[in-house]
């Protein structure tokens, strides 16, 4: 995954529970992103962070929260307010200065 | 960022060239064309990018029309491992954040 680790690969959540998805990178990038992917669809941006201690909402931030306390880490919390959390979640880092984003291998979240 | 249009799906026989088209008629003069691919249940992977000249690397070739309104990604000898969703993206190269749209892409099936 080019220095990006997403964990866990599969996650099951009961309705009403919060869960946190991990994204760690050792590529020394300032910018990190969280995307959501539903079957047969493209990627939708949830949150992004361009620098430590700062982050911005993307297109579908409702029901999600993030933190950026360290350059290497950008965890995503899926809260109970997210009505349809079952999806594939992708973390990305980097910019389009060269080759664009580098993506992690993803976390598949299922609500049971 | 300019929007792109890609066919929903394509088939290609194993060993033959796969030609994936992308229309980007509203592309600006300083926007590059990037191609990514996503194998099932993995994160998207960078393939190639270009501004106006044709580009080639070990994975693929990128042909951009002279008016830059469309491009074609060529996988010269498709293998079963090339079965994936291919995304065409246009955006300015640089370090600042601009919204990047990963649409539904083209689902390429390589057939034995």
Residue B17: DSSP 8-state: P
Instruction: Retrieve residue B56's tokens.
Output: 């080639």
Region A92-98: mean pLDDT is 87
Which of B110, B54, B63 lies closest to B85 in space, CA to CA? B110
Most B-contacting residue of A4, A9, A44, A100 (CB-CB within 10 A), to test interface = A100
Q: Do A42 and B102 touch (CB under 8 A)?
A: yes
Interatomic CA distance for residues B27 and B46, integer angstroms:
20
Q: Per-residue pLDDT for A101 more than 70? A: yes
List the 36-75 stretch of B: residues with Cβ below 8 A of A.
36, 41-46, 49
Give pLDDT, residue B95. 75
Judged by phi (left if over 0) then psi (alpha if -120 to 50, else beta), residue A71 lies in alpha
Tens of pLDDT, residues A30-74? 999 999 999 888 999 999 999 999 999 999 999 999 999 999 999
């Amino acid at each position: 995954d080019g220095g990006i680790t997403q964990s866990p690969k599969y996650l099951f959540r009961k309705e009403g529970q919060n869960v946190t998805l991990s994204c760690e990178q050792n590529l020394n990038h300032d910018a990190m992103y969280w995307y959501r992917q539903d079957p047969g669809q493209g990627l939708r941006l949830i949150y992004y962070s361009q620098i430590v201690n700062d982050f911005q909402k993307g297109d579908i931030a409702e029901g999600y929260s993030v933190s950026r306390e360290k350059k290497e880490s950008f965890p995503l919390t899926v809260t109970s307010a997210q009505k349809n959390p079952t999806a594939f979640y992708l973390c990305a880092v980097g910019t389009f200065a060269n080759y664009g984003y580098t993506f992690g291998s993803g976390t598949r979240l299922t609500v049971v | 960022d300019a929007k792109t249009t890609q066919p929903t799906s394509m088939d290609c026989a194993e060993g033959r060239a796969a030609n994936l088209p992308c229309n980007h008629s509203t592309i600006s003069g300083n926007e590059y064309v990037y191609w990514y691919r996503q194998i099932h249940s993995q994160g998207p992977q960078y393939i190639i990018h270009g501004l106006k000249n044709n580009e080639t690397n070990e994975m693929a070739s990128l042909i951009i029309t002279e008016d830059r309104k469309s491009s074609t990604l060529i996988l010269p000898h498709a293998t079963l491992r090339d079965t994936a969703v291919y995304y065409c993206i246009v955006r300015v190269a640089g370090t600042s954040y601009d919204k990047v749209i990963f649409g539904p892409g083209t689902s390429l099936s390589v057939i034995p």
